[in-house]
Structure 1
């Protein structure tokens, strides 16, 4: 993704967010400028909560009180998480460095 494509995104990679409706939170690891999943996935969302396709969507290392998983969430359904509570998703350590202020910084990618 280029900087031009993500400059319109409200949230950034490494930011901790929570879902507006469902009880989960996590750290963003990828942003796409608009819906890029399957039609089956989209149609499985109840119509009354189905998000618009023409907005950024985020891949999140998500967790709730029961488990950790990867979530794909529309921008309209995310809020900043300012709780300061630590995240426990096992993949966070592979992708991010935790900074002293509690924020996540993507690890440098090795170029081959």
Structure 2
């Protein structure tokens, strides 16, 4: 279940799109830049009652991927990290991340609370 008990499925986001078509675009069909994505993510966090301190699309992707069981090497490649040590920072001390905004948002988007 997604936020507020609504089932979350990626299919509506992907429906009618080709694999190479961008998912996040502005009103004119241009790619959203990182600032617009960060703003949207922080607004979603606020709506979900999550403190968004330190929350960025990068931290959300890293945390969500690692939480879903994606290998550290694959997440390293996804995020463009030159060293696995950099990627490991997102995986280190998982108990400490329980209260981090990225971890909480990943949990909410993944159907948790």
State the TM-score, normalizing by the size of structure 1: 0.22
Structure 1 or 2: more helix by fraction: 2
Greater RCO (CA < 8 Å, at least 6 residues apart): 2
